[in-house]
Structure 1
Amino acid sequence: MSAAPAPDAPLFTLACQAYDRMQPLRDGTVGLGGARLNFLDLPVEETFFRMLRFAEFDIAELSLSSYVLTLGRGAPFVAVPVFPSRAFRHSGIYVRADSPITDPAQLEGGTVGVPEYQITASVWIRGILAEHHGLDVASVRYRTGGLDEPGRVEKIRLDLPPGVDVTPIAATETLSQLLLDGKLDAVYSARNPGPFNTPGGGGIRRLFLDPAGTEREYHSRTGIFPIMHTLVIRREVYEQHRWLAGELVKACTAAKTAGLAGIGETAALTYALPWLWAEVERTREALGEDWWPYGLEPNRTTLETFLRYHHEQGLSPRRYEPEELFAPESLAAVVV
């Protein structure tokens, strides 16, 4: 248990989903050095919308893609190399159950739905399919909108290069229903389409027949475990409290260690999954002891790849270097 902060210590509001690696910050098992913390456990879409539109929080989990977009638009936030969310995304490509498409290259000339063109999952999927499966980004038409609820729009205005066809669907339509109706050839989504969660998949299947195997092979070949979200500080807060960046990294690292402790324990199962221990052992064998690394250097290849994709897809004006993303205080190591 961390020492309780002084009553007059500065109070910061952190908006972030209460993942296992963040829960110790929420419940106070791990404290934020020199500060009090108001942890808001919010769905990621709500956090992103409120932070990007209104900068409501002192600290927030934010889409990596959205954050990179803000760098050329006044840079209202500064990030630290803490990554609350990561996910392989070969499993995030959906087609109709009766679709003849079994290979991503078959989507050339087709129409694909994405909740937003700029979201991180979509950037990764397009980049991976272009680099490793021969599906050029501009060879597909993109339709944006709500996955299962109508009305979703891009949170950030985009200025895309000529030749990239991105059009919103009607305000009353959803991507899931358009896919089922045959008006879309595929959907790229971080979340499962609603019908897919019903018994039998509701008429929808994943494009890759063995997505987990495909993702493991991708990691084995590239060393990349895609980063989805990073942690950002509102810039005026950062400028007033430069020490906060380094303390956030320390606190989040301690929270991750505490939150993942015992995840593979077999004596009394922490999570209601009978073979989680086997998955932990397989993950450790494939990704190493620290399979969810924070910091710049362990993530350099992943970040460089993402920043290249982001620029190639017309979302950033130039190819940023990973060091440009993070507060310098969060990258410095104290040597004694």
Structure 2
Amino acid sequence: MSKLQLSFGCWDYDRISALTDGTVKPEGIELNWLNMPVEETFWRMMRHHEFDVAELSFSSYLIARDRGFPNFSAIPVFMSRSFRHSGIYINKHSGIKEPADLIGKRIGIPEYQLSACVWIRGILHHEYGVSPSSVFWYTGGQEKAGRIEKIKLELPPEINIQPINEDQTLNEMLESGEIDAFIAPRAPSCFLNGSPNVTRLFTDFVSEEEQYFRKTGIFPIMHVVAIKNEILEKNPWVAANLYQAFVKSKQKVYEGFNQTAALKVTLPWLVSEIERTKEIMGEDFWPYGLENNKATLEAFVTYSYEQGLIKNKLKVEDLFVKSTQEEYVI
């Protein structure tokens, strides 16, 4: 019997390399991997539903579920995760020294609904008392003018938000001081190029992020893996089989990290970093599955609800295909 042919839009993470090189094969499935930057994958999947299986913004997926028109369903495989204290940049002349100083300031964001921005706003609100309604938000292109929201938003009136001019970029505005701060998943080029006007809010962001994890147990999730509903309706077994394959592929990465005779990754202190990460986060420091991530998932739903992106505080159990939540697939 021939295998089911599925297109798979995703960036080239180490955690899928065993799947893409054929070391791990999902039972009954042949994946046609299409390697693309995450922004392209998200746009093409959200706007045109081009792929059978795709990496997808957690925020975009959650909004689609809330509005009741998803054409795809997620499995609890998290392609991208990242602590986000490092993603807050400030103009040095803005008078911002600590998080509370952001209140009343002008903050640039590429899109309000970006998962990274949802996390940063939630962290600022819950950990530092800076509510989303206490600042002025400016949206637009980071390095190239003209970016718009992927999804039309219906935000509460207390959120002060407006697009920048079509010929402006947030990077230039941060550099010049037209905005006081900037939050995003990607560092602005003015910071990367060593601008004397721009720095991070948290210069020792690693310590802040470690403290946040020790306090909350939350390792922020950015991207899920989504499968077209029409695929699942015809082949309901696909979700669990793909989930199992993703778990096995990630395990290959862990096994490579445990080989210390030669470094698998081009980092000189890789062994030390892995040991330190395990000490803080445990052996499975990049967990898949619903139960292992419930606190993180519930926090994101809460943040999205509080920030006006979703109208209903969805149950995390309703966000993922049921067959991937059962014990035997772990």
Please report the TM-score for the alignment, with normalisation by the length of structure 2. Answer: 0.96
In structure 2, C-alpha distance between the alignment counterparts of 1:136 and 1:35, rounded to whole Å: 46
In structure 2, the residue matched to 1:113 is 108
In structure 2, the residue corresponding to 1:262 is in which secondary structure? helix
In structure 1, the residue corresponding to 2:257 is in which secondary structure? coil
| Equivalence map 1:68-79=2 (5 Å) | 68-71=62-65, 72-79=67-74
1:172 to 167, 175, 181: 167
Superposed CA offset, 1:235-262 (max 9, x none)? 1112111111101110000010113322
Query: Over aligned residues, Cα RMSD in angstroms?
Result: 1.3
In structure 1, the residue matched to 2:88 is 93
The alpha-carbon distance between structure 1 residues 98 and 279, as it changes in their structure 2 partners (threshold 3 A), is farther
1:332 to 311, 326, 330: 326
Q: Is 1:149 aligned to 2:140, yes or no?
A: no
In structure 1, C-alpha distance between the alignment counterparts of 2:195 and 2:256, rounded to whole Å: 33
Superposed CA offset, 1:129-152 (max 9, x none)? 011101011011111111111111
In structure 2, the residue matched to 1:270 is 264
In structure 1, the residue matched to 2:41 is 47
Q: Is 1:160 aligned to 2:151, yes or no?
A: no
In structure 1, the residue corresponding to 2:157 is in which secondary structure? coil
In structure 2, C-alpha distance between the alignment counterparts of 1:163 and 1:35, rounded to whole Å: 48
In structure 2, C-alpha distance between the alignment counterparts of 1:314 and 1:46, rounded to whole Å: 25
TM-superposed deviation, 1:98: 4.2
Superposed CA offset, 1:13-59 (max 9, x none)? 01111111111111111112101110111100000000000000000
Gap runs ≥5 in structure 1 = 1-5
- Report the AA paired with residue 22 of structure 2: G
1:130 to 103, 122, 125: 125
In structure 2, C-alpha distance between the alignment counterparts of 1:97 and 1:272, rounded to whole Å: 33
| Equivalence map 1:108-257=2 (5 Å) | 108-198=103-193, 200-201=194-195, 203-257=197-251
In structure 1, C-alpha distance between the alignment counterparts of 2:168 and 2:196, rounded to whole Å: 18
Q: Is 1:313 aligned to 2:316, yes or no?
A: no
1:289 to 280, 283, 294: 283
In structure 2, C-alpha distance between the alignment counterparts of 1:55 and 1:35, rounded to whole Å: 20
- Report the AA paired with residue 33 of structure 2: F
In structure 2, the residue matched to 1:323 is 317
In structure 1, C-alpha distance between the alignment counterparts of 2:11 and 2:294, rounded to whole Å: 25
Q: Which moved more, 1:245-254 or 1:26-35?
A: 26-35
The percentage of aligned residue pairs carrying the same residue is: 46
- Report the AA paired with residue 321 of structure 2: A
- Report the AA paired with residue 164 of structure 1: I
In structure 2, C-alpha distance between the alignment counterparts of 1:262 and 1:37, rounded to whole Å: 23
TM-superposed deviation, 1:264: 5.2
Q: Which moved more, 1:297-306 or 1:202-211?
A: 202-211
Q: Is 1:20 aligned to 2:14, yes or no?
A: yes
In structure 2, the residue corresponding to 1:270 is in which secondary structure? coil
Superposed CA offset, 1:210-237 (max 9, x none)? 1110000000000000001000011111
- Report the AA paired with residue 86 of structure 2: S
In structure 1, C-alpha distance between the alignment counterparts of 2:44 and 2:35, rounded to whole Å: 13
In structure 1, C-alpha distance between the alignment counterparts of 2:35 and 2:22, rounded to whole Å: 14
- Report the AA paired with residue 334 of structure 1: Y
8 Å CA contact 2:94, 2:177 repeated in 1: no
In structure 1, the residue matched to 2:53 is 59
In structure 2, C-alpha distance between the alignment counterparts of 1:308 and 1:331, rounded to whole Å: 21
8 Å CA contact 1:60, 1:231 repeated in 2: yes
- The number of residues matched between the two structures is 328
- Report the AA paired with residue 282 of structure 1: R
TM-superposed deviation, 1:333: 2.7
In structure 1, C-alpha distance between the alignment counterparts of 2:258 and 2:95, rounded to whole Å: 40
Q: Is 1:81 aligned to 2:76, yes or no?
A: yes
Gap runs ≥5 in structure 2 = none
In structure 1, C-alpha distance between the alignment counterparts of 2:278 and 2:3, rounded to whole Å: 39
In structure 1, C-alpha distance between the alignment counterparts of 2:238 and 2:106, rounded to whole Å: 45
In structure 2, the residue matched to 1:302 is 296
In structure 2, C-alpha distance between the alignment counterparts of 1:202 and 1:35, rounded to whole Å: 52
TM-superposed deviation, 1:159: 0.6
The alpha-carbon distance between structure 1 residues 157 and 189, as it changes in their structure 2 partners (threshold 3 A), is same
- Report the AA paired with residue 70 of structure 2: A
